[in-house]
Structure 1
Amino acid sequence: MNEGSGTRRAAVIEWLSQQQEEMRALLALLVDIDSHSHDKAGVDAVGEAISEWCKAMGIEVRRTPRPRFGDLFEACLGEGEGTVVLLGHRDTVFPTGTVAERSYEEHDGMAFGPGVADMKGGLVMNLFVLAALARTGGLAFPLKAVFTADEEIGSPDGKALIEDAVRHARAVFNAEPGRVSGNLVTGRKGGANLVLEVSGRAAHSGVSHADGVSAIEALARKIQRIHALTDYDTGVTTNVGVIEGGTSSNTVAPWARARIDTRFVTFEQREALFAALEEIAAREELPGTQATLTQVSGFLPLERAMSEALLARYQRSAAELGFEVEGEFTGGCSDAGTTASLGIPTLCGTGPVGALMHTEREYLLLSSLVPRAQALALTLLDLDEG
């Protein structure tokens, strides 16, 4: 490390060390905007708040309108090839109106509120990292923060936008919350949501029961086969979480539907699992029934090999700041799987430490805001120097 580099690293660390109160203020602002995935106006309001903050910092923001889900917002430092991307999503799982019931609050060193850790804390961290680097001259490569709008429902619109945004990128850092252990995420399961629809033949259940063919019975048989695909030893799970069907209790059901969640660790498992599900869908459980299987959303897995090099760089930066961090596997999915599947080195869970996501007890550890921002900024400077 040369003298100029050391001076710049010190300046970045020092500036971020003074931003705790400003980080908390921005966090409160973002958390107190309802932004459920299907609330386009709310998700866009978060993007607009981010855009206003960036403009005040002299950071360029691009907005790409989307017709159904929230718009795409991108904050950029520099242009050209070899971009490094800071990734994050603005949507939460909490329905519109949640903020009125329980808005942002702090106590005992923790922040609470809908989406405070997953992942508005990560958005705040990414923004302050951008600002810290912009203040000290930028980087030799373009740096782009991407703020998506529909991750919590499987990125049905965002997946293609992310693929376009990270095209030719050299690295991606996804600011999902750091684990409660303080670790980063170096491996994630992939997952998919599917709908299985079965058609049968209606009949009066008292007068002409034998003339009917029950779609519900056929679906029930398929559900048993689907659940039998779960293998805890390999990490593959299947779950039928919602079932619907029929028209009345005295009618043989002419239709039935199931919503399925699947999880897998590797791409090979995904291919084998999907083939098995297609086989189950095609099987005629009862004469006269038919079924169709449709994928409605999904994430690819983040395999550890795609994170190892970035983890080593981050660990050096953390050690420089006086703390240790390891990589960790989680069964949850994220957009990190999308970027890793494109062959781009990807590190996830770089956001501030939080826990109990998707519950009313979700919290973010306020003391982790500054050091996690500093560690990420130093990692980016390390990439710049390397």
Structure 2
Amino acid sequence: MTPQTMNAVLSDRLFEIKKRHADAFSWLDGQQAAMVDQVIAWSKINSGSGNLDGLRRMGETLEDAFAKTGADCTLLPLSPVRMISLKGEDQSLELGPCRLFSIRPQAPRRILLTGHIDTVFAADHPFQTPRWLDDQTLNGPGVADMKGGLIVMLHALLAVERSGAWEDFDFSDFGWDVLISADEEIGSLGSAAYLAERAAFARIGLTYEPALADGTLAGARKGSGNFSFVVRGRAAHAGREFALGRNAVVMMAELITQLDALNGQRSGVTINPAVIAGGAAPNIVPDSAVLRFNVRVESDADAQWVREGLMAISKDIGAREGFQVSLHGDFNRPPKPIGPRNQALFDIVSACGEAMDIGISYRATGGCCEGNNLAAANLPNVDTLGVRGGDIHSADEYVLVESFAERARLSALIIFGFAHGAFDDLLIGEGA
């Protein structure tokens, strides 16, 4: 089939599916106000990645909501992960559990949908309450990233499962799994294994990070790693024995200068020194300093280049008399390039958007998400199917509320199309 013929055939198939499930799409339009009310309520529940009580409350709220789909829920506990504290000490970080919702778990043809309940806003962060900026723009923690996206996902699945067309079509070979994590905003350190495990059972993945405000979706994504440097020096009285001290903060400043100098040396690599701590009092030569930083890369070769650069810096600073340096962390999300299998899925989603009168375009981004993990597990996926919004990870985060029903209709059409087998001859098989 030529691309033109393929597009025409897919367009005809989607037209028939839209007509067959017209009641489901009409129902979604009628849920617009309820979805907005729901995101306001969910936004008021603080679920910062480290707020275990808030994550529990948000998780239980999610269980109640997804119970309406008829799915079974399995709680998947995560083991604590090790992190370096701002005192330079190795510490254990407790994680909230993942939740797996499944429909027709024995069905061989499956979609994996993923999302997260955690936000970047801790329980003591001043940004806790949603508010209207105008009649179409809602500002609030998680309204876009990604409680709004979870609501889009939920309602698309509700529309599919409640559709009257199930009565005259055998969907027994089609099922879906929803994996919801509580550690995405800190790199999916615990949930990565479950993402890879569930990806093996699916043919396509759908993830509900927000689209850009204009509806643009993420294409290729960079990989990401979180690291820490710890510098140890020697404490001394700042007046009486200054010369005996070894100032870890000063040495860390030199280390950061070397680290920042790696920026610009290799295209696509960015290094962001972000959090620094050290010292105890102004009259004490500080004996320790800690730096947390993030690295973004476009390829595995980039990642290895960065590792070698970090080790060279560590060796140089650590060779100074009276100082010790330790490096912690690694890359936790691999890059997500767009190969033929993922491009085929992108084209299908674009066709679904056209059928819904929604313009779909893609743009490479330095951001990363669970879509990186799914791609690394060889699962083609589209990872920005949530609401349209912006200014995420800031107190200016907002959602354009008209996008709730709009994006739920888009996802419902994708799911219906897969369930009907409309994409089977268009999706590229394993190894392609």
Fold shared per TM-score above 0.5: yes
Aligned positions of 1:1-386 closer than 5 A: 1=13, 5=17, 7-66=19-78, 68-80=94-106, 81-96=108-123, 102-103=129-130, 105=132, 107-136=134-163, 137=166, 140-231=173-264, 234-283=267-316, 284-295=318-329, 298-305=332-339, 307-384=342-419, 385=421, 386=424
Give 1:99 deviation, angstroms: 9.0
User: Percent sequence identity over matched residues?
Assistant: 28
Task: Name the Cα RMSD after superposition.
Answer: 2.6
Give SS of 1:379's match.
helix
Distance across 2 between alignment mates of 1:27 and 1:185: 23
| Superposed displacement of residue 64, structure 1 | 2.3
**Local SS of the residue matching 2:404:** helix
Deviations 1:210-256 (A, max 9, x none): 44433333322221111011128722111222222234444443222
Larger CA deviation: 73-82 vs 83-92: 73-82
**What is the deviation of 1:279?**
2.1
| CA distance 1:232–1:331, change in 2 (3 Å) | farther
CA contact (8 A) 2:68 2:158 kept: no
CA contact (8 A) 1:282 1:290 kept: no
Alpha-carbon distance between aligned partners in 1 of 2:105 and 2:267, rounded to the nearest angstrom: 43
Question: Is the contact made by 1:218 and 1:286 (CA closer than 8 Å) also made in structure 2?
Answer: no
* Partners of 2:249 and 2:288 within 8 A in 1: yes
Check conservation: 1:27, 1:116, Cα contact below 8 A. yes
What is the rounded CA distance, in whole Å, between the counterparts of 1:98 and 1:205 in structure 2?
Answer: 35
* Separation (CA, whole Å) in 2 of partners of 1:34 and 1:6: 38
Q: 3-state DSSP class of the match of 1:244? A: strand
Contact 1:186–1:328 (8 Å) recurs in 2: yes
Q: Following the alignment from structure 1 to structure 2, what is the Cα–Cα distance between the partners of residues 345 and 365?
A: 27
CA shift for structure 1 position 382: 2.7
What runs of 5+ residues in structure 2 fail to find an aligned partner?
Answer: 1-12, 80-93, 425-432
| Distance apart, 1:179 and its partner CA | 0.8
- CA 1:204/1:26 → structure 2, altered by over 3 Å: closer, same or farther? closer
| Secondary structure of 2:112 counterpart | strand
Alpha-carbon distance in structure 2 between the residues aligned to 1:266 and 1:89: 25
Q: Please, what TM-score do these two structures have when normalized by structure 2?
A: 0.81
Displacement after TM superposition at 1:297 (Å)? 7.4
The 1:101–1:245 alpha-carbon spacing in structure 2 relative to 1, beyond 3 Å, is closer
Distance in 1 between the 2:272 and 2:18 partners? 52
Normalized against structure 1, the TM-score is what?
0.91
| Aligned partners of 2:14 and 2:417 also within 8 Å | no
For the structure 1 residues 167 and 99, does the alpha-carbon distance in structure 2 shift closer, same or farther, using more than 3 Å as the test? farther
Tell me, in whole angstroms, the C-alpha distance in 1 between the residues paired with 2:287 and 2:33: 60
**Residues 323-359 of structure 1, C-alpha deviation per residue, up to 9 Å, x if partnerless?**
2110112222212111111111121111110111122
Displacement of 1:277 in angstroms is 0.9
Distance 1:63 1:123 in 2: 17
Q: Work out the CA distance in 2 between the residues paired with 1:111 and 1:285.
A: 53
Farther-moved stretch of structure 1 (110-119 vs 229-238): 229-238
Unpaired runs of 5+ residues, structure 1, are none
- The answer as to whether partners of 2:130 and 2:138 remain within 8 angstroms in 1 is no
**SS of the counterpart of 1:133?**
helix
In 2, the alpha carbon distance for the partners of 1:3 and 1:58 equals 28
The one-letter code matched in structure 2 to 1:33 is I
Deviation at 1:118, TM superposition (A): 0.6
Provide the C-alpha distance between the structure 2 equivalents of 1:226 and 1:273, rounded to a whole number of angstroms: 10
Q: Which residue of 1 aligns with 2:89?
A: none
